[in-house]
Amino acid sequence: MNDTTQYSSSVQAADEEKQYIENYVDLAAKRIGGETLICSDDFFAEMENLLKPGRGVFIDDKYTDRGKWMDGWESRRSYGRDDGREFDWCVIRLGTPGIIKAVDVDTHHFRGNAPAQISIEACLSIGNPDENTQWTEILTKHDTNAHSQNVFVVQSDKTWSHVRLNIFPDGGVARFRVYGEVVIDWQQFLPGELIDTAAITNGGKALLCSDMFFSDKNNLIMPERGKDMGDGWETKRRRDPGPDWIIIELAKLTTIKKVLIDTCHFKGNFPDTFKLEAAHAADKSTAIDKMQWCTIIEQTKLFADREQWFALEGNEQTFSHVRLNIYPDGGVSRMRIMGYVV
């Protein structure tokens, strides 16, 4: 039997949609480990498409032996089912457990075949869910619009590891995003282990930056090396000495020991130099403009398309935030802040 606890939710206006997309992590994203596990039916289009990047594409004259090719997850029409169920569903394992703040059920290009309604259930499970899993409804049944981003707020402060997207009675969804805050079990790390507390998968957050004209600030703290030049943080060309900057909130107070600045794929547009500053905020409510910044790596030359490590020997201070300054502008693929957590 499912846990039927319900949480109030609402569709957000366009300006609020942007707030959730920019300020929270997509916990279901493939790039941080999100995965579609099982679905009731994906006759017309595979469930794996749900977690792909972008909003999906439409190719007018492309067909498969089952019908029109669609860039999303699409089930057959409900009267073609033979098991009596009233809706279709897909189970997604989040890349990392977290507190869910909002979901985006994007029906891009699904115009005459979008579901009429959706609901969301969630669970916290060490392994993959099975028939004995207790699911909690975190988003009650809501109407959806065709060919639209349907963003709903989720009012729950619990940690979840899996979600189940239910569509009523059938249809197609192009992309599914689960925006929230990463929750880390710090017991998984060994005592004295160096941890990248800037990493988005460990709870680091890209708070603010001076510019992200060419690519998003969150790319800087994503897993693995960047796959291309678009998979990094890149600013537009300045016409003054700069610098451009980005502020990262570390997952926990950290004694920083090593720093990586990786300019992978940036060859004619890497920064000439960088400087790294850090601050210790008393709590997370401290305003950015009230923080006291100190330099932990002086302004230093950078090189194209290269991993560049820097050791902070002798540092015993703890920091909650770092600010990367790049002179005068350019692109950095990844930054790692390795240290001991408090």
> Hey, is 289 helix, strand or coil?
helix
> Hey, is 151 helix, strand or coil?
strand
Do 234 and 308 reside in the same domain of the chain?
A: yes
Integer-rounded Cα Rg, in Å, for the chain is 22
Do 112 and 57 reside in the same domain of the chain?
A: yes
Q: What pLDDT score does 20 carry? A: 73
Number of domains observed in the structure of the chain: 2
> Hey, is 205 helix, strand or coil?
strand
Tell me if 2 is assigned to some domain.
Answer: no
CA distance 230 to 219: 9
Domain at 141, CATH number: 2.60.120.260
Domain end marker among 165, 182, 199: 182
Show Cβ contacts of residue 56 under 8 Å, excluding neighbours closer than 6 positions. 49, 71, 72, 106, 108, 109, 174, 175
Q: What pLDDT score does 4 carry? A: 38
Do 102 and 212 reside in the same domain of the chain?
A: no
Q: What pLDDT score does 289 carry? A: 84
Q: What pLDDT score does 123 carry? A: 98
Do 201 and 165 reside in the same domain of the chain?
A: no
Element (H, E) at 125: none
Tell me if 59 is assigned to some domain.
Answer: yes
Write out the two tokens for 148. Answer: 């639209």
Q: How far is CA 98 from CA 9, 93, 241, in A?
A: 18, 11, 40
Domain end marker among 182, 201, 220: 182
Which domain does 141 fall in, by range? 14-182
Judge if pTM exceeds 0.85.
yes
Taking the chain, what is the end-to-end CA distance rounded to the nearest angstrom?
Answer: 41
**Sign (positive/negative) of CA torsion 311, 342, 277, 27?**
positive
Do 200 and 329 reside in the same domain of the chain?
A: yes
**b/e 110-123 (16+ beta carbons within 10 angstroms → b):** beebbbeebbbbbb
Q: What pLDDT score does 291 carry? A: 92
Q: What pLDDT score does 281 carry? A: 93
CA distance 341 to 318: 8
Domain end marker among 132, 167, 182: 182
Contact assessment for residue 103 and residue 138, using Cβ atoms and an 8 Å cutoff:
no
Which residue ranges in the chain fall short of pLDDT 70?
1-18, 80
Do 195 and 119 reside in the same domain of the chain?
A: no
Do 74 and 144 reside in the same domain of the chain?
A: yes
Do 225 and 131 reside in the same domain of the chain?
A: no
- Strand-pair category, 319-327 with 244-262: antiparallel
